[in-house]
Amino acid sequence: MANLGFPAATESLGVQRQRRTRRTIPADLLCGPNFAKLQAGILNDRSTALQFMHQQTTETISWNLAPEVGTGLLLAAAQDPGRPTCCVAMHSLHAESGLFAPRGRMPLPPIGSDAPALPGRHDNSFSQVVSLHPLGGPLMTYCAASFGGIIAVYSTTIAPGEIPKSKTAWPAHSADVTSMHCSQHGMHLFSGARDGSIHIWELKAKPSKPSVSFRHSAAVTGLHLVNDRHLATCSMDGRLLLWDIRRPMQPLRNMASPDGSGIVRMAVSPFGDSAAFGTVKGGLFSAPVVLDEPPEVTSLPRLPGAACALAWNSSTGELYAACNAVITVLQPVL
């Protein structure tokens, strides 16, 4: 099931549209007269993959969004416009209390840290945020955020106007953290950095050193624990690797991007058997992340450039790929 039934990239665009496997949404469809057409549902099926629902100005510039339905919060690594200060911004996901209404901030770097206000290199990868809600227990209302090479853990239950201190913080990597992930499989936090290092942190107590370490040869751009043993990772070295986290001396699988460029985004399917990944050159591919499938990389329809985001719709099985103000929707062929 490695290719999830997607058509090969060599099929004509006309065939793809006929089979309803690829749809694109230009940004201009979400404004002006086209918005009314979207609302009325009168645009043809080649364009109406997603419907514009809500847009709102926020107090901060946000990236690395982490929605957490269990706590009703949208977490974001963010920066105050015009000021060299960063934070984790929290917004409400409940319409009755005001969709995206501010629910507080956690300062980055954490209070008491001797880190500079902004790392030497700052872009949308130098700060990450992930909800710890999947870990359950006392960590259900906590999140982890990175700032440069530091990781801090914060409670997401704070009083209005409170400037909270982190529950704990530690120097996690010698380079900027570029990816984080947690899963319900065990009390672990996974982090990857710009220098290719990957660390596994045990969160039953304050981390002092990683329980396990291994690495790519370039910046880590994606991490996903497929099951309680196997971790899928990707990197700007152009490799998608599958590791046994109990014995990560060598990867179990080593798959290369067919176009030879770095992998910028990865999203594991809702079935947990394969991952879609996008490359610097605009390639879009799928590869198995289970050992009972042959390690064959399948080409999907190309994107107009490097993927900015990849996400699966677990209800429909569709894959959303954002790139250059266009969202492409890929639907498995049944």
Out of 215, 245, 272, pick the residue that ends a domain.
Answer: 215
Domain of 100, in residue numbers: 60-215
pLDDT tens per residue, range 292-326: 999 999 999 999 899 988 888 887 888 888 887 77
CA gap 285, 310 in Å, rounded: 11
Say whether both 290 and 200 belong to one domain: no
More confident residue, 122 or 315: 315
Out of 151, 184, 215, pick the residue that ends a domain.
Answer: 215
User: What's the half-sphere exposure (Cβ side, CA atoms, 13 Å) at 165?
Assistant: 5
Query: What pLDDT shows up at residue 182?
Result: 92
* CATH number of the domain enclosing 135: 2.130.10.10
Say whether both 32 and 105 belong to one domain: no
pTM: 0.81
pLDDT tens per residue, range 76-103: 888 877 777 789 999 998 888 788 888 9
Say whether both 135 and 167 belong to one domain: yes
Quote the number of domains for the chain. Answer: 2
| Residue 320, in any domain of the structure | yes
Strand partners, 136: none
More confident residue, 28 or 84: 84
Question: Per-residue pLDDT averaged across 176-196, rounded?
Answer: 93
Say whether both 197 and 273 belong to one domain: no
